[in-house]
Amino acid sequence: MKDELLRELRERIDGLDDGIVRLLDERTAVSVEIGRLKREAGWDICDPSREESIYRKLAQSHGGILPEGALREIFREIISASRALQAPMAVSFLGPEASFSHQAALAHFGHGIRIVPQASIPEVFSEVEKGDSLRGVVPVENSAEGSVKATLDALITTPLAIRGEIFLRIRQGLLSTCGDLKAIRKVYSHPQALAQCRKWLQTHLPGIPLVEMESTAGAARRVLEEKTGAAVGSRLAAETYGLNLLAGGIEDNPSNTTRFLVIGPKPERNDGGITGQGKTSILFGTTHVPGALHRALTPFAAAGINLTRIESCPMRDRMWEYLFFVDFVGHMEEAGTRACLKDLEKQTATLKILGSYPRGEEPT
């Protein structure tokens, strides 16, 4: 009886799978036609606001037993594969392969991209500025270690815009070619990764030297050649380089999160971001007089706009004068945001709009 029921259910699954494939083919054909129209119009093949609106619509209409996160991941790969058929999409990131920036790029764009690892953050910006990559992914701040100065410095001078943000929960593991924790004689990783796991390392590997590397993925590649070495890195790095995961979740703070920015050319048309789900990043400088910063922030308070981040950065060519990076809720095409920025411009010496983009989904 059970065998017969199982056979019937499997036949039903087979029928549903056939239907899903037909619908995917139909959806892909429409997507390819959209890509053709975009190319003829000279529009960007990647439309983050449109993609985000798809995810939000799915979440609102979804009432089944499939978890919302799983549904989002499935459609991210459907959209990624469709986008790849519209036009090949190269994405640069702080490498090497299997770095957390690589992980963030896959989480945002899916696997239908051509990955282009770069050795430094300035090289990511350069690759996108030259047009060799359509997008770049760079870390901008970590919940435990603070801001990434190289990214802030690059934002000051780049002609590119911020086109999206990604929040990635940082899960660290101890990776090695050997299978015994007692055999480890050195631990390699990026300075921030070592700092994020300091308590665990002191408890489980007391007295073992910690060696700083340019990246967690670089550390993983290093221990391929060193049988008594271990690297602090991601599960993706372990899978990519064929290493054993000796321990997982070794970060001291389980809520440790890094925010990444997606950078790209400024949109030639509105991203379609007037949805109530936008965020804007700006950079401004004030005159070196008392109350200047207070006056600059007054338009935000008057407009009831929520600031999600403000950070000062010293001007390189002017001693004791500062630029301020500000993120706030709202899209620059919204009337209230436009009015606020117009008032802000009157109160500042310099103002640069870094970009408006869909708000990223923060880990809970």
274 secondary structure, DSSP code: -
Q: With contact defined as beta carbons under 8 Å apart, do 268 and 261 qualify?
A: no
Q: How far apart are CA 271 and CA 278, in angstroms?
A: 10
Beta bridge partners of 312: 324
Residue 98: strand, helix, or coil: coil
Q: Which of 240, 258, 280, 286 is catalytic?
A: 258
**293-291-143 Cα angle (round to 5):** 30
Q: Which of 100, 109, 260, 328 is catalytic?
A: 260
**How crowded is residue 346: how many other Cβ atoms within 10 Å of its Cβ?**
10
What would the DSSP string read from start to end of 182-223?
GG--EEEE-HHHHHHTHHHHHHHSTT--EEE-S-HHHHHHHH
Catalytic (active site) residue 260 = yes
Examine the residue annotation and report whether 258 is marked as an active-site residue of this protein: yes
**Is 242 buried (19+), middle (13-18) or exposed (0-12) by CB count in 10 A?**
exposed
* CA–CA dist 98, 78 (Å, integer): 22
The token duo for 61 is 């209409």
Name every residue whose Cβ is closer than 8 Å to that of residue 162 and which is 6 or more positions away in sequence: 155, 261, 262, 263, 281, 354, 355, 357
Q: Is the dihedral of CA 8, 13, 18, 20 positive or negative?
A: positive
Q: DSSP string of 288-346?
A: SSTTHHHHHHHHHHHHTPPEEEEEEEE-TTSTT-EEEEEEEES-TTSHHHHHHHHHHHH
Annotated active-site positions, please? 258, 260
